[in-house]
């Protein structure tokens, strides 16, 4: 099966609807911690990820591609569940979440890159501006990622 020919993604998020689109594209992406960098002078956090190409037709051969993710206007960064100095660590990304600061009307808020194994990166930003851009050539993925659905009654919460 040949890889689908798709134009490279070039996306920009400036509101919650845009974040939902980028979040969908980031599901099951792999982020090598060594490929994530804080650019202090630009107040941006940049990372090179390899992402599954969910936008391909479902019957196409599964594939991945490298992409750059940039988060602008960053005030602070916090990591949960890992130390950013663990340069050999690979994070499996699940979603990108935006929470505007309810106390301010100036566009500030928290952007959270949610990973598997209860790992995350949380960015306090002055305004929402995220870009995702594919680069390089796609390559075959071993398989299409799958996720099981866990119902509340299966989590042992007593219901």
Q: How confident is the model at residue 159 (pLDDT cuts 50, 70, 90)?
A: very low
Residue 159, C-beta contacts closer than 8 angstroms, at least 6 positions apart: 152, 153
Report pLDDT for 102.
81
Spell out the domain ranges in the chain: 10-144
Q: Which two tokens stand for residue 24?
A: 């969908």
List Cα–Cα distances, 76 to 70, 73, 108, in angstroms.
14, 9, 12
CA 13, 16, 17, 21: dihedral to nearest 10 degrees?
Answer: 60
Share of the chain above pLDDT 90, in %: 79
Report pLDDT for 157.
47
Q: How confident is the model at residue 154 (pLDDT cuts 50, 70, 90)?
A: low
């Amino acid at each position: 099966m040949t890889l689908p020919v798709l134009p490279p993604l070039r996306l920009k998020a400036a509101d919650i609807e845009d974040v939902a689109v980028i979040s969908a594209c980031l599901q099951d992406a792999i982020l090598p911690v060594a490929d994530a960098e804080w650019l202090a002078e630009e107040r941006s956090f940049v990372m090179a990820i390899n992402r599954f190409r969910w936008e391909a037709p479902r019957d196409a051969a599964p594939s991945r591609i490298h992409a750059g993710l940039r988060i602008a206007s960053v005030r602070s960064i916090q990591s949960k569940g890992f130390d950013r100095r663990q340069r050999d660590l690979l994070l499996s990304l699940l979603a990108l979440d935006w929470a505007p600061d309810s106390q301010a009307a100036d566009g500030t808020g928290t952007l959270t890159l949610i990973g598997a194994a209860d790992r995350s990166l949380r960015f306090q930003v002055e305004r929402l501006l995220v870009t995702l851009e594919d680069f390089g050539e796609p390559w075959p993925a071993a398989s299409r990622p799958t996720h099981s659905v866990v119902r509340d009654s299966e989590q042992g919460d007593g219901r």
